[in-house]
Homo-oligomer: A and B are copies of this chain.
Amino acid sequence: MNETLERLKEKLALISDLKNAAAVLSWDQETYMPPKGAQARARQLATLSKLAHEFFTSDEIGELLDRLEPQVCDLPYDSFEASLVRVTKRDYEKARKVPTELVEELARATSLGTEAWKQARAESKFSLFQPHLEKILDLTIQKAEALGYEDHIYDALLDLFEPEMRTAHVKRILDDLRGKLVPIVQTIREAPPPDDSFLKREFDEGKQWDFGLRVIKDFGYDFEAGRQDRSAHPFTTSFSVHDVRITTRIQRDYLPTGLFGTLHECGHALYDQGIDPQLERTPLASGASLGVHESQSRLWENLVGRSCPFWEHYYPRLQETFPAQLRDVDLERFYRAVNKVEPSLIRVEADEVTYNLHIMLRFELELQLVERKLPVGDLPEVWNAKMKEYLGVEPPNDALGVLQDIHWSGGAIGYFTTYTLGNLLSAQLFASARRDIPNVIEQIRSGRFQELLEWMREKIHRHGRKFTPMELIQRATGRELEAESYLEYIREKYSEIYGDLP
């Protein structure tokens, strides 16, 4: 086996290097690239993506996998060798279905699309982005058809981000959630809203930046193996287990954007920094799925970062950083403000309770787009109408509406749902961690996160992609993915702020 395995690993390492190189190019595109560099960058990304796809879908990889499969079947399921062959085989079968030309065309279209989206967003003009999105949608539908599906074309796309999750299942979860969340939101709406006007004072950007870095250093983010930069839309990217970078967006006149954005991306980065280095340069060296990834970002942003114990520790430090802005605001007022529930325009700034309504909207629009029931040109109008229907607010322009997210410009259709799955899982994992670490809340209250991080490292991070999301959740929490922990968390937390909730 050794020689065959080494040969496979060598091939996969080369492919991994190409993909990580592409990730560096994409990071640069979002952070530092001058505008005229976009066209050449699109070609470079297309070439790297094409080569990685060609190498990965070569007959040789298939033959190596076929030879290895019977040889690893006696090894433990979670051994490196068995996992590598199993997961690579699954990826290989998917990848063989998508023609190289289509992969290349998508890479080019999304690279140009991302530039167009930036421009369109800056000018708040959907029409600048529309032809790009049409092209991207066409190519994505072609890709879904090539991948194949049993029930719904959207299944093929969903499966790319959340292996083994089906459209019908997501619909059920979202319907269930909607049924239970709506009365909660209704009750909250009738309660007097907390005052959060002081969050809109002027906060020096450099000080915001430094405060965020200080918190994520306490969380355990390794700055020797990562860094934070600015970008239009915050993201986390990784070029190796030892180079995991985050970006943030800071608003001078709205404190939560930068602060919670940084905590959120740090959660993603902690996951990537925690993957077993043995998995480097193989398909196992990333998160189990986007939903599992999002559970980590949400956990550190919300379950930890918007909790009362967290702020008992950090609020005095924040007041020290911004004495003029926060001198007259006590801890309780601040805590209630950063947990204010209020229907709003921007998903990434939505509170924990209404957040999932933003996801439902996008999920429904995506379904209609891939079913060809909604022309791309009608998106702004339908978006605005749905915002009014679900959240009672209407975007005054495209930048605050349909253009707010980077995802579609990058071809990530089928992605949004994973945010809600991540929300549910974050609460489920945190409940389990609380059972295993009885004084974890006390630890958070004194700014100590090491045990919580180690729990996540042990249960989630280190495994990379060895397990499917469902396997991983079962192993970590002893249960299937469920919405109950999340609803309990919401009820417990928000009834303290807003009074009894249904």
Chain A interface residues (CB < 8 Å from chain B) = 13-14, 17-18, 20-22, 24-25, 28, 32-37, 39-41, 43-44, 46-48, 51, 222-227, 229, 239-243, 245, 280-281
Instruction: Give the chain B neighbours of A33 by CB distance below 8 A.
Output: 243
CB–CB A40/B229 < 8 A: no
29 A-B residue pairs with Cβ-Cβ distance under 8 Å, sorted by A, are A13-B43, A17-B43, A17-B47, A17-B48, A18-B51, A20-B40, A20-B44, A21-B21, A21-B22, A21-B25, A21-B44, A24-B24, A24-B44, A28-B28, A32-B227, A34-B223, A34-B226, A34-B227, A34-B242, A34-B243, A34-B245, A35-B224, A37-B240, A37-B243, A40-B239, A40-B241, A40-B243, A40-B280, A41-B243
Q: Which residue of B lies closest to A50 (CB)?
A: B14
Q: Which residue of B lies closest to A224 (CB)?
A: B36
**What are the 7 A-B residue pairs with the smallest beta carbon separation, nearest first?**
A40-B240, A37-B243, A17-B47, A36-B242, A36-B225, A17-B44, A36-B224
Instruction: Give the chain B neighbours of A240 by CB distance below 8 A.
Output: 37, 39-41
Alpha-carbon gap, A225 to B39, bound state (A): 11
- Of the listed residues A18, A21, A245, A281, the one surrounded by the most CB atoms of chain B closer than 10 A to its CB is A21
> Which of these, B36, B225, B229, B242, contacts A32 with CB under 8 Å?
B229
Q: Which residue of B lies closest to A43 (CB)?
A: B17
Instruction: Give the chain B neighbours of A48 by CB distance below 8 A.
Output: 17-18, 21
Instruction: Give the chain B neighbours of A13 by CB distance below 8 A.
Output: 43, 47
Instruction: Give the chain B neighbours of A222 by CB distance below 8 A.
Output: 36
CB–CB B44/A242 < 8 A: no
> Which of these, B28, B34, B51, B239, contacts A41 with CB under 8 Å?
B239
Alpha-carbon gap, A25 to B25, bound state (A): 8
Known contacts: A25-B21, A35-B224, A36-B222. The answer to whether A239 contacts B51 by CB under 8 A is: no
CB–CB A36/B243 < 8 A: yes
Instruction: Give the chain B neighbours of A241 by CB distance below 8 A.
Output: 40
Alpha-carbon gap, A245 to B33, bound state (A): 9
Alpha-carbon gap, A224 to B33, bound state (A): 9
CB–CB A242/B37 < 8 A: yes
Alpha-carbon gap, A46 to B281, bound state (A): 14
Instruction: Give the chain B neighbours of A243 by CB distance below 8 A.
Output: 33-34, 36-37, 40-41
- Of the listed residues A25, A36, A224, the one surrounded by the most CB atoms of chain B closer than 10 A to its CB is A36
Alpha-carbon gap, A281 to B243, bound state (A): 29
